[in-house]
Structure 1
Amino acid sequence: MKKIAYLSSKVTLPGSPIRRDDAFEHDHMMDALRGPFAEHDISLHDVDWADTAQDWASYDAVMIGTTWDYWDHQAEFLEILDQIEAVTPLYNPAALVKWNSHKAYLRDLEAKGARLIPTLWLDQVDEATANAAFNTLGSTDLVFKRQVGAGAAGQHRLKPGDAIPPMPYPMMVQPFLSKIVEEGELSFIFIDGELSHALIKRAKAGDYRIQSTYGGVEEAITPSSDDLAAATAVLHTLDEMPLYARVDMLRGEDGGLLLMELELIEPYLYPIEGPELGPRMAKALASRLNGA
């Protein structure tokens, strides 16, 4: 039986005293993957990526899973991935993860034709630069996001005259689009380049953040052919096809989809909304391990 490590973190592993309140999503992933993996003679073990006692060479491969603290330890995380990849296959590959770990990757995708929300990139944010962003982007409702981050951590929605909170990190700034609350964010989950399932994520009343930790809810959908084509086109801008990917999109004013994120590192893959995720992932991983 092949032995696979599923990289997790102190904030998601069961029994951790500092476990996140959305770590039940880790449990959903393990429940979805373990059975189908076993059917392919693969055992799956969730481990802390920062556990220095791990012998990575003892695993036949390593998958990046719920490493939901890496953005506060980016350099250390990327160094560990290089160490892993030196002794065993890593999914997704370290070079792809390094590129995807900084939101500037969106500019690369835009250069290849991806449609983005207008974005301003700020290395430092103070009252002057924050206030100037309203004029630059021509909006009175802006969202400030960390350039290295996930899950809306350190994110701020501001209007002119609002107090500027401390933002000690490089930030990206975008106009707030009302479609996030009117329709929701669409997510497309791909395994080895093939659509596994799609869903729409909606914020709770009075909020705009769609993550479960803020009360967001999800619903499986059958995407239109145009929406699926837009998501697939984003994936095909990559030079190599990742084992797994989640394409997050938001509808623009013209009805077409705009890219929010291409998640290639540690995305939650919503197995509840896509019950075929486990079998699809197991088959794809087994194929790669067997050299097919």
Structure 2
Amino acid sequence: MKIAYIASQVTLPSSPNRREDAFEHDLMMDSLRPAFAARGMTIEDIAWDNSDADWSSYGAAIVGTTWDYWDRQDEFLSALARIESKTRLYNPVSLIRWNIHKSYLRELEAKGARIIPTVWLDKADAKNIAAAFAMLQAEDLVFKRQVGAGAEGQHRLKPGDAVPDMPHPMMVQPFLPSIQSEGEYSFIFIGGDFCHALVKRAVPGDYRIQSKYGGKETPVDPPAEDLNDASAIIAMLDEAPLYARVDMVRGEDGHLVLMELEAIEPYLYPVEGPRLGDMIAEAVKKRLETAPV
């Protein structure tokens, strides 16, 4: 049986304009290929917007490194809906549609998740930015796209800073010093089960922890309290997704707070989690065996 790993033109090895962090795509495929082969399946990487793809020829499709969707949101969601009409899609488009806009954080907060105080701006102009500083009572704010990933279009501002061009709706949060002093934690869950955790740290002088900005990852064995905080986020979903990554940072009170729940196309750090490939392949196998005909 063939399984599709849905990528993007900018992450596939054959791309002439490949993203600089696309090596993470290669690491994912290196983890998945032998694990699926051991269970009698093959996994192939293919771009979500490949017009020649025969999605019905795949037993299932896993949304992977689709790292251009934030500028093509409607097209992306429509493509996933078409794929889901031809084969089983993990994660399902209903979950992806919910998770694609970061306002999902408000719903998780209503269920008990601890999040960073956030102001939501439809328009990030000087007037609204000044109001955000006042509302959050902070002197150091981070502005993120409400639909985005990988710190694309992200800005860190202090009062009086020049206002950069932010043409998209933004979410605004106080900068937490722990992102630099301790780092950001990622907890990886497969089928609702914990797989592994790691801490991501930025290079000195930066706060962005992504690899394309020089960020480095270190595996960690999380204490029970931290793991419980992350597991509680997964438990808030109606059903366990095939995969999810819970990103958290340390709040001023010493407890973890939720940065993001990534259920669309997160990099799952296979180097730091050697069990990842086997856990994903086994979870897909079980889902296919128990899926209604």
Q: Please report the TM-score for the alignment, with normalisation by the length of structure 1.
A: 0.99
Q: 1:176-197 CA distances to partner (integer Å, 9 max, x unpaired)? A: 0000000000000000111100
Aligned residue for 1:40, secondary structure, equals coil
Map 1:70-219; keep pairs closer than 5 Å.
70-219=69-218
What is aligned with 1:236? 235
- Deviation at residue 15 of structure 1 after TM alignment: 2.1
Equivalent position of 1:11 in the other structure: 10
Instruction: Name the residue aligned to 2:280.
Output: 281
Flag as ranges the 4+ runs of structure 1 deviating above 3 A.
none
Q: Following the alignment from structure 2 to structure 1, what is the Cα–Cα distance between the partners of residues 41 and 247?
A: 30
Amino acid at match of 1:140: E
Q: Secondary structure of 1:249's partner? A: strand
Partner in structure 1 of residue 219 of structure 2: 220
Tell me, in whole angstroms, the C-alpha distance in 1 between the residues paired with 2:2 and 2:103: 34
Deviation per CA, 1:200-248: give whole Å up to 9, x if none.
0000011000000000000000000000000000000000110000000
The equivalent residue for 1:66 is: 65
* Corresponding letter in the other structure for 2:96: V
CA distance in 2, matches of 1:18, 1:139: 39
Alignment RMSD: 0.7
Corresponding residue for residue 53 of structure 2: 54
Counterpart Cα distance in 1 of 2:127 and 2:253: 32
> Shift of residue 23 of structure 1?
0.3
Equivalent AA in structure 2 for residue 180 of structure 1: I
Residue in 2 aligned with 1:251?
Answer: 250
Residue identity (%): 63
SS in 1 for 2:52: coil
Would you say 1:37 and 2:36 are equivalent positions?
A: yes
1:291 aligns with 2:279: no
- What is the rounded CA distance, in whole Å, between the counterparts of 1:144 and 1:97 in structure 2? 22
- Secondary structure at the aligned position of 2:284 is classed as helix
Rounded to whole Å, the distance in 2 between the matches of 1:42 and 1:190 is 22
1:10 Cα deviation after fit: 1.0
For 1:133 and 1:109, locate their aligned partners in 2 and report how far apart those are by CA, in whole Å.
22
- One-letter code of the match for 1:189? I
Provide the rounded CA distance (Å) in 2 between the counterparts of 1:170 and 1:98.
17
> Which deviates more, 208-217 or 282-291?
282-291
Aligned residues: 291
Mapped to 2, the partners of 1:238 and 1:245 lie a distance apart of: 11
Whole-Å separation in 1 of the counterparts to 2:156 and 2:148: 16
Q: Distance in 1 between matches of 2:133 and 2:39?
A: 53
Unaligned residue ranges in structure 2 (runs of 5+): none
Task: Return 5+ residue gaps in structure 1 as ranges.
Answer: none
CA-CA distance at 1:17 after TM superposition: 1.0
Per-residue CA deviations over 1:98-141 (Å, capped at 9, x if unaligned) read 00000000001000000000000001111111122111100000
* 1:25 paired residue number: 24
CA-to-aligned-CA distance 1:134-162 (integer Å, 9 cap, x gap) = 11100000000000000000000000110
CA-to-aligned-CA distance 1:53-106 (integer Å, 9 cap, x gap)? 111111111000000000010000000111111121000000000000000000
Under a length normalisation based on structure 2, what TM-score does the superposition of the two structures give?
A: 0.98
Deviation of residue 273 (structure 1)?
0.3
